[in-house]
Amino acid sequence: NAHPVHLTFPTGTKLAFHQPLVVAQMIIMWAVVLPLILRIRRGKGEPHVGQAFARLLTTNPLRAVPNIYLLTSAVTRIRKVQAVRRLGQERTALAVSDLIEKLDDPSPEVREESALALGSIGSTEAVDALIRKLEDPYDDLDPQVARALRLACDPRSLDALVRKIKQDADRETKVESARALGALGDTRAAPVLLEQVAGSSDIKVITACSEALARLGRGSAVREILPRIRATQGIVFRRSL
């Protein structure tokens, strides 16, 4: 390898010829090209060039590198949770495979945040992993995974959510599954939601299913919801009708 000068970084890496070139390129980009881009005149109704450029920067894969590094490093649970959360907020598709691995992390918080991050990203690979988790009978992330699928709002999750809410799932899983089905807006979910309204005695489940039915625009659901009003002291009526 060519070395312009005999220098070594603290990590032991020797200074190679391409490293000064990368630094020079970055300087040119920020000092010359960026000011020229910002001077571009925008057409009527178009966003300001600065705003568009800022949006471009938020998807820059280089921004994700430190957070992805933290996922695979021996760092504290809190730092790992923060890294996962940032990857979700920035919708970093580059991190999907690493986030999928963290669905089996020893820390419950890391697992939960990884599921939500995958839902925020919403790519095909992310949604497929969430569906597999939801269908895993030995997994303990069902409420978080259902909530993540609501964020992703992918039609492919419909069948898995319907199966989950029909099972003897816990309260939070049923509630989150109902909300996800409502967000999907697919009327094929209406029958199972009506079954839950008619057969459940849990106020929170009835309310979530009724709200989902309202989002689906099923006026016929009123006949099932009205008889539940007395038992729920009007909560369903006020929030869903």
CA distances from 29 to 40, 60, 61 (A): 16, 15, 17
Region class of 75: left (phi > 0), else alpha (psi between -120 and 50), else beta:
beta
CB 198 within 8 Å of CB 224: yes
How far is residue 216's CA from residue 138's CA, in Å, rounded to a whole number?
31
How many helices (H) and strands (E) the chain has is answered by: 15, 0
Amino acid at 179: R
User: Mind listing the pLDDT tens digit of every residue in the chain (241 residues)?
Assistant: 444 556 666 656 666 666 677 777 777 766 776 666 656 665 555 555 555 554 444 455 556 666 665 766 767 888 888 888 988 888 888 889 889 999 999 999 999 999 999 999 999 999 999 999 999 988 889 999 999 999 999 999 999 999 999 987 799 999 999 999 999 999 999 999 999 988 888 889 988 988 898 888 865 555 656 565 555 554 544 554 4
CB count within 10 Å of CB 189 equals: 26
CB 51 within 8 Å of CB 63: no
